[in-house]
Structure 1
Amino acid sequence: MELILRGLVAGALVLVAGALWARGRYVVITVSGTSMTPTLADGDRVLVRRRRLGQLSRGDVVVLEPPLDPGGRYEPGPAAATGGRWNIKRVAALPGDPVPAGIAAGDGVSRVPSGMVVVLGDNQDSVDSRQWGFFPTDRLLGVALRQLGGPAL
């Protein structure tokens, strides 16, 4: 009986450790708005895996913190100023890539600076790098893997 009890306790500890590990690597967000239509619609739930800049590829759908204003001002700490609100966009250019046409990059800037990415919504009316310029990768939450109940992204 004691052996069974120890096995149950060990199993419960493994489940708790697994849940904590998954929570640190994966997040579920709910899309609010139309910037990613037709790929994602308002209200869609998306599974996001936390990733770093080196793990990004062009075309990835990413979740990142938006700046407070078009000047690119951020408050200290992730999502501190936005009340936990995030942007979901597609990576169009990585550090060192040529700046795509139509991006608010500033005069004389021809390549995406280190630590920055260019992101665009799938909807042409999206507010993204066309208006805001580069997005800092230190404000990246992760990469959207799939729509819950829908296709992989």
Structure 2
Amino acid sequence: MTGAGRATVGLAVGAGALLLSVRVLRSRIALIRVTGSSMAPAFADGDRLLVRRTTRVRRGDAVVFRNPLPSAEGDEPLPWLVKRVCALPGDPVPPDVRHAVGAPDGGTVPAGSLVVRGDAARTQDSRHFGYVAESTVLGVVLTRPTTTG
């Protein structure tokens, strides 16, 4: 094989490895843009968040999950929401969430469910829409946001 032939094969192998690396990275990482102010001051409208795709979460993690709220007529629903995990399966149901989930005093979060809250004072979260199914979690926010102005 000539030098030019080896270079062509090398470029093809390198391009294939790069494509595979990009596919692997996309299967593990997502880039999400914040819409709204429910997570202020941590995340602002327009921030971009790097999210590690996983359903394994800890209390205090900011997570991205499928929006459980129906859209208002004429509104396009946000496909994903960002909130902070405040209770995991087996944890006591927070008192301000009990009514929304129908839990008795001393009730615990059921298996496969999470309780989430927004960081802002006014936000739609588990106090309004109840538990979030762990199966709807896209992932955990990895990085501090960068504002895209």
Structure-1-length-normalised TM-score? 0.82
**Which residue is equivalent to 1:50?**
53
Q: 1:51 to 1:30 in 2, by over 3 A?
A: same
Moved over 6 A (4+): none
1:105 to 101, 108, 116: 101
CA RMSD of aligned residues (A): 1.7
Q: Secondary structure at the match of 1:101?
A: coil
**Which residue is equivalent to 1:15?**
18
Task: Give 1:46-85 correspondences, 5 Å limit.
Answer: 46-52=49-55, 55-69=56-70, 85=79
| Identical-pair percentage | 43
> 2-side partners of 1:39 and 1:30: how far apart?
14
For structure 1, list consecutive stretches of 5 or more residues without a partner in the other structure: 70-81
Q: Deviations over 1:70-93 (max 9, x none)?
A: xxxxxxxxxxxx766211000001
Q: Deviations over 1:53-74 (max 9, x none)?
A: xx210010000112135xxxxx
For structure 2, list consecutive stretches of 5 or more residues without a partner in the other structure: 71-75
Q: 1:93 to 1:107 in 2, by over 3 A?
A: closer
User: CA contact under 8 A between 1:92 and 1:118: conserved in structure 2?
Assistant: yes
1:131 to 128, 133, 144: 128
Greater Rg by CA = 2
> 1-side partners of 2:114 and 2:24: how far apart?
28
Q: Secondary structure at the match of 2:101?
A: coil
Q: Give the partner amino acid of 1:42.
A: D
2:36 to 13, 33, 42: 33
> 1-side partners of 2:13 and 2:78: how far apart?
35
Q: How many matched pairs?
A: 136
Q: Give the partner amino acid of 1:119.
A: V
User: CA contact under 8 A between 2:67 and 2:78: conserved in structure 1?
Assistant: no
The structural deviation recorded for 1:7 is: 1.1
User: CA contact under 8 A between 1:44 and 1:147: conserved in structure 2?
Assistant: no
Q: Secondary structure at the match of 1:146?
A: coil
> 1-side partners of 2:7 and 2:145: how far apart?
37
User: CA contact under 8 A between 2:86 and 2:115: conserved in structure 1?
Assistant: yes
